[in-house]
Chains A and B, each alone.
Chain A
Amino acid sequence: MDLSNINPILLVASIMISATPILLAAIGEMVVEKSGVLNLGVEGMMITGAVIGFIIAINTGSPLLGFATAAIAGAVLSLAFGVLTQIFLSNQVATGLGLTLVGLGLSSLLGKPYEGQKTVTLPKLDIPILSDLPVVGRMLFSHDIMVYVSLGIVVAVWAFLKHTRAGLILRAVGESHESAHALGYKVIRVRMLAIMFGGACAGLGGAYLSLVRVPQWTEGMTAGAGWIALAIVVFASWRAGRVLVGAYLFGGITVLQLNLQAAGMTWGVQYLSMSPYLITILVLVLISSNRSRGSHNAPANLGQTFHATR
């Protein structure tokens, strides 16, 4: 094994690339959960975004159009979840699982003709001055636009939840839908919008996988990224800043694992590949065992069905 082949500059750069899909999906899911809805269909929405984004990009030659359509596709799919859980009052856990199964089926159906094809990916931005900085320029300032968009979304979500009235309403709905309803807020409408935002973010995250990170379409290519995004929301104890930390941490583990494989670590490739999942479990245990800040922070009405009786 030759560790000197691992270039630290490229390592940081690739951590940012590999963290972006889970960051996008996780920040979207955090907003959904803040509104009191638990959508376990992140994986399904991500993979649908991945396939739709890929198909559109390949047919139009525009990756940006691919991202936009992927976001719409994710939102439309999440709307199905929203209608079932909010209007038909179905169980959120079961419906979320169903959404994942539907998404996996739909994506492999749509993606079959596109397997193995290549697409144009997003160009790396060349930011004047910043990109030319030594070391830091290569590390942080020569990525494609979606990396910065994802960071922008995190800041926007933080500001929205913390400093706007609409954000306050959304949090109120998540903490106590009965009280929010009594105050005259439209609980179902707020939740629907949050669900669609989460869907759009998951769609973007999926498209980032198929258009930038890999960039190719293979069946089941999200390989649990959506579930890791869900775990990151718990890890982050529902705070935007910690979602960012969590996503980059997990991105780091994935990249490090791939780098070790590439550096010629011959024994147990499978053991390295399972490490992100094992570490997810470990982190979940650490977070939930620390009662002072872990599950304590969860929105009080998370996962509960709201039915206005009055």
Chain B
Amino acid sequence: MIRLEKRPQPSKAWTVLTPILAVILTMIFGGIMFGLIGTSPVEAIRTIFWDPLFHPQFANFSRPQLLVKAGPLILIAIGLSIGFRAGIWNIGAEGQYIIGAICGAGAGLALYPMESALILPLMVVAGALGGWAWAMIPALLKVKFGTNEILVSLMLVYVAENLLASVSSGLLRNPEGMGFPGSRNLSQWSSSQNLELIPNTGMHLGVLTAFIAVILAYVLLTRHIQGYNIRLTGEAPRAAKFSGVSPARTILFCLGLAGALAGMAGLFEVTGPAGQISIDFGSGYGFTAIIVAFLGRLHPVGILLAGLLMALTYIGGELAQLMLGVPGASIQLFQGMLLFFLLGVDVLTNYRVRFGAAEVA
């Protein structure tokens, strides 16, 4: 008989090993899935995980994409992970990302065609504020009325998507765009463009911000009292209350931070890789970032690595679509499987597997 015995403390070794185990399991079962839809499993896995980095023809194009995709994922996931640590489930990052982009782009476009080095910083601030404000809705409702933040933040994603559709064909539409929906191209306006800092690396301001966020989050969680309070709230809510940590302040801080980071990610995306506000601007980064946060064990360094890995599956997925004709949705399923396997093998971190019958106490 197999039974589980709770460990007094989560195993350090398994904390590191479980994500690797989950990736291997996903490769195996993903391979089977690709086999079922008629693609060679080995070739599919190689195209997703190996070719984007080392393929003689494509790697030059796809390697910079790694940072471009990883940047927003890491930035959003860092914000989410801090909330998840405190048991605050913000799953509406996609909405905060969209609103951040709209607010930032709006602030910039209001000044068009002025030229100033201050415009991009202003847009970043506006983007962060937009995301922050959008996240404050579930935060304030939770604090004031005890409303479930999961449902409210998610409902606001749909509201944000409708707002996006509205502004891209109305308020922010390019007046010179011959009536097509979509804003002016922000990556072509020298005051707002968010260019690569080092050519051919994909390293733009957003990626840099993501790296800084990783460092600051690490400092916050390991060296700062606020980080300690957050972890305490998540692990022992009652103890946190008795020691004087205000649940309301923690909720406002965690959701606000996640919203601001997601809003900034949206702004960097709209001024760089995406270029403009358009109906299909929302790309699902906000949802994939949830996987990234868990895959990275809610730890800043882990999230950095997980973000890069998830970016790899995005690029590899596009490559597999192009070269092997694999449907795009299979990559989404692949990413979902990764989260599932991770949650499944996670039992090894917190429990010990024992064989044999239970002893009578």
A contacts, CB < 8 Å to B: 40, 80, 83-84, 88-91, 93-95, 97-99, 101-109, 112, 219, 223-224, 227, 230-231, 234, 268, 270-271, 273-274, 277-278, 280-281, 284-285, 288-289, 291, 295, 307, 309-310
Contact = CB atoms under 8 A, between A and B. Distances in A.
A91 B343 contact: yes
Interface in B153-179: 154-156, 158-159, 162-163, 165-166
A281 B344 contact: no
16 contacts: A83-B344, A84-B343, A90-B347, A93-B89, A93-B150, A102-B337, A105-B330, A106-B329, A106-B336, A230-B151, A270-B165, A273-B162, A277-B155, A281-B137, A288-B148, A309-B6
Contacts of B215: none
B343 A270 contact: no
Contacts of A277: 155-156, 158-159
Interface in B110-146: 137, 141, 144-146
The 5 A-B residue pairs with the shortest CB-CB distance, nearest first, are A105-B333, A105-B332, A102-B336, A108-B329, A101-B336
- Of A95, A109, A223, which is in contact with the most chain B CB atoms at under 10 Å from its CB? A109
A105 B334 contact: yes
Given A105-B335, A274-B162, A234 B148 contact: yes
A274 B331 CA distance: 29
Contacts of A97: 91, 290, 339
A268 B337 CA distance: 39
Given A84-B340, A90-B346, A98-B336, 11 more contacts: A84-B343, A105-B335, A109-B329, A223-B158, A270-B162, A271-B162, A277-B158, A281-B141, A281-B155, A284-B151, A291-B146
B6 A307 contact: yes
Nearest to A224: B158
Contacts of A273: 162
Contacts of B158: 223-224, 274, 277
Given A105-B335, A271-B162, A280 B146 contact: no
Contacts, number: 138
Contact of A280 (B151, B329, B330): B151
B205 interface: no
B361 interface: yes
Interface in B245-300: 287, 290-291, 294
A281 B287 CA distance: 20
B147 interface: yes
B333 A94 contact: no
A281 B134 CA distance: 13
Interface of B: 4, 6, 37, 89, 91, 137, 141, 144-148, 150-152, 154-156, 158-159, 162-163, 165-166, 287, 290-291, 294, 327-337, 339-340, 343-347, 350-351, 361
A242 to B, nearest CB: 17
B348 to A, nearest CB: 9
B324 to A, nearest CB: 14
Contact of A227 (B145, B155, B330, B331): B155
Contacts of A231: 151, 155
A88 B340 contact: no
A284 B147 contact: yes
A224 B162 contact: no
A132 to B, nearest CB: 41
A278 B335 contact: no
A98 B339 contact: yes
Nearest to A234: B148
Contact of A274 (B163, B330, B339, B345): B163
B86 to A, nearest CB: 13
A30 B150 CA distance: 17
Contacts of B345: 88
A274 B162 CA distance: 6
Nearest to B160: A274
Contacts of A291: 146
Contact of A89 (B4, B332, B333, B361): B4
A133 to B, nearest CB: 38
Contact of B145 (A101, A103, A288): A288
Contacts of A103: 336
